[in-house]
Amino acid sequence: MYNIVEILTNELPALCLLEHVSWRKVSTLGIGAEIPVLAEPSDDLQLIKLLQICHKKDISVKIIGAGSNLVGPDTPFDGVIIRLLHNRFSKIVYGRHQHITVGAGIKLSELLRELAGKGFGGAAPLAAIPGTLGGALRMNAGANGVEIKDFVCEICGLTLDGLPWTADTAELTWKYRSVNIPQNVIITGAICKFPECESENEYLLINDEFNWRTKHFPSGRSTGCVFRNPAQDIPAGKLIDESACKKISSGGAVVSEQHANYLLNANNATERDYINLIIKVKQAVLDKTGISLETEVQFLNSKSQKEINSQPELPKIIVLKGGNSNEREVSIQSGNSVEKALVSAGYSVQSITITEMDEVKELINTIKSKNRTIIFPVLHGGYGEDGRLQKLFENQNILFVGNNSKSCELAMDKEQSKQIMEKQNLPTPKYAIIANPAEKSKLPTSDTPVKFTELPPFPVNLKLPVIVKPPEEGSTVGITLVRHELEWENALKNSFKYSEKALVEEFISGDEITVGIVGDKVLPVVEIQFPGPLFDYDAKYEHHHGETLYLCPPDKVSKIAQKKAQDAALAFAKAIEVRDLTRVDFMVDKENNVYILEANNMPGFTSSSLLPKSAAKAGISFPQLCGTLVQLAYARRT
């Protein structure tokens, strides 16, 4: 360290150098061994010379500002800590057309108060965020719908070897709590533009932010919020609280009882204490919610950051979508939604659109670590739900989300489902199975209508009206409501386009509802109000005849009927040995009787799908739902 001080003193005699500085003096958390050498350049020119010297002499450098989001290392840093906090780095220069040049070292609170006095505002929600403008730019700081990017025109900086760097805000990719400024760039300032405002009113808004923060956030030494919110409407603090993490500790570090996203240095905590506590919290949240939290706090020690990022261990996710059933397009929409949700939940995701099963076989051959890869097959209908795909995974010992092959077969084949319902004394409409009388070689397609040599008779155990549908399809593909005998033949033709059999089912007049199950949790009931006589494909996805309403909690269905349906759904799920998830559809008549229609192995995962809607009512966000399903599958690894 003496050599570094000597080198810098000789080559930059005007540079402010401090030795043996405590982290308690330069960071809000106050964790870390002392800083051997701290340099505080006065302006850009001095910083350029300092960086050039360090680059030439191979001296490591780290840049800090107010230290509000920083954890110091347990061992002294072998190099120079450069702090940009004073002199030219905290200056404000007012230009024309509301353009204001601001140094990266000025604290946000000081900046916004200064601007308010000059009649500029609009950023009051950011006032209580601790730290400097440079730190706020690096993470695209935001609060209450306002982000720092909203006010930035251009960012200025230097690379670590002292070369100038600039970027227009339009050249950068701004995301929630991140921006793609290169890691080797030191932000030195920005050109900003703030709208004009009434100074007195802006001061009031700024003071309100500070008062609110004082009331809702803990005092004591901290970095502020440690974890990034998985999404803007999913607070990390709420997930931590729900995972029973408040007040847990590691050494001198403890989770705040007042705000769970604050990890406090309560009693001379070390970096190791802080790392261990972060990992504890991440594991608890993952176990409870299926979401892997990402930190927004920064560690000066890059190895510490890598350790935290690698724990807990997460599987790689492969989302399969598409297929060759009549629900292919819906599957693609569902798959896209699942991919986005899992990325929000902290997973590494690969999304693949397939058509035939052979493509899945080829994919399996490329999977190197079977215990570290989870297949999330968001395939509706056909081989995606009837057990064939699941059997393929089972034969290759591949982990996957959803029910096993036998359970899928039983749920998808409505004839077998009906038999199990009868055996278990579960309520379901009366039914009959009609075989297609045409020869297999002459089975109809959508282009070649069938001609019956003899019309299959109407089932003697049923009476009109009835529902006719193929017993092995989903999303109401091929379904017809038959009210009169003249409609019987066309209904059979429609069903036989998709299957060699037709399921004929007593029509239950009443309200349609559905019950979702995730793991062993029965979700709230969703009532389905559709514009026509049937909840058919159009009512589900296309809405040509009007919008379908999905009500959770239900509007018309009594709580008694809801409880009956939830109990029956769970009983049927257990009877066919469902795991991970299912959704069971019901009809409810005027006397509060419930009738099971069918179970869905892989319900829809689009924005309007019923299982996610029901889960949301139960307090389970979509990323949490998808992450939970991944963790259920991952728990089956050997």
Query: Which of the residues are catalytic?
Result: 327, 475, 541, 583, 585, 598, 600, 604
> Residue 457, by phi and psi: left (phi above 0), alpha (psi -120 to 50) or beta?
beta
Across 331-470, the runs of DSSP E, i.e. the strands, are 348-354, 373-377, 399-400, 431-435, 466-469
- Token pair 């150098």 is at which residue? 17
Residue closest to 34 by CA, chosen among 68, 83, 82, 77: 77
Give residue 325's identity as a one-letter amino acid code.
S
Alpha-carbon span 128 to 138, nearest angstrom: 17
The two three-digit tokens of residue 20, written as one number: 């043996």
Q: Are 418 and 560 in contact (CB under 8 A)?
A: no
Residue closest to 89 by CA, chosen among 20, 135, 36: 135
Alpha-carbon span 381 to 390, nearest angstrom: 13
Q: Supply angle C-alpha 336, 341, 342, rounded to 5.
A: 100
The two three-digit tokens of residue 533, written as one number: 């006589």
Dihedral sign of CA atoms 439, 445, 448, 450 in order:
positive
**Which residues, including other chains, have CB under 8 Å from residue 402's CB and lie 6 or more apart?**
377, 390, 408, 579, 580, 581, 601, 602, 629, 633
Alpha-carbon span 69 to 82, nearest angstrom: 16
Alpha-carbon span 98 to 193, nearest angstrom: 6
Q: Regarding beta strands 511-518 and 581-588, do their DSSP bridges make them parallel or antiparallel, or are they unpaired?
A: antiparallel
Phi and psi angles of residue 72, each rounded to the nearest 5 degrees, phi first? -75, 160
Alpha-carbon span 171 to 167, nearest angstrom: 6
Percent of the chain as helix, strand, coil, to the nearest 5 = 35, 25, 40
Q: Supply angle C-alpha 610, 614, 615, rounded to 5.
A: 115
Alpha-carbon span 109 to 473, nearest angstrom: 60
Q: Are 124 and 202 in contact (CB under 8 A)?
A: yes
Dihedral sign of CA atoms 280, 74, 90, 8 in order:
negative
H and E: helices and strands count for the chain: 19, 31
The two three-digit tokens of residue 285, written as one number: 């949240």
**Which residues, including other chains, have CB under 8 Å from residue 148's CB and lie 6 or more apart?**
123, 126, 133, 136, 137, 140, 141, 142
Alpha-carbon span 323 to 332, nearest angstrom: 9
Q: Regarding beta strands 466-469 and 146-147, do their DSSP bridges make them parallel or antiparallel, or are they unpaired?
A: unpaired
| H, E, C per residue of 163-223 | CEEEEEHHHCCEECCEECCCCCEEEEEEEEECCECCHHHHHHHHHHHHHHHHHHCCCCCCC
Q: How many other C-beta atoms can be found within 10 angstroms of the C-beta atom of residue 520? A: 11
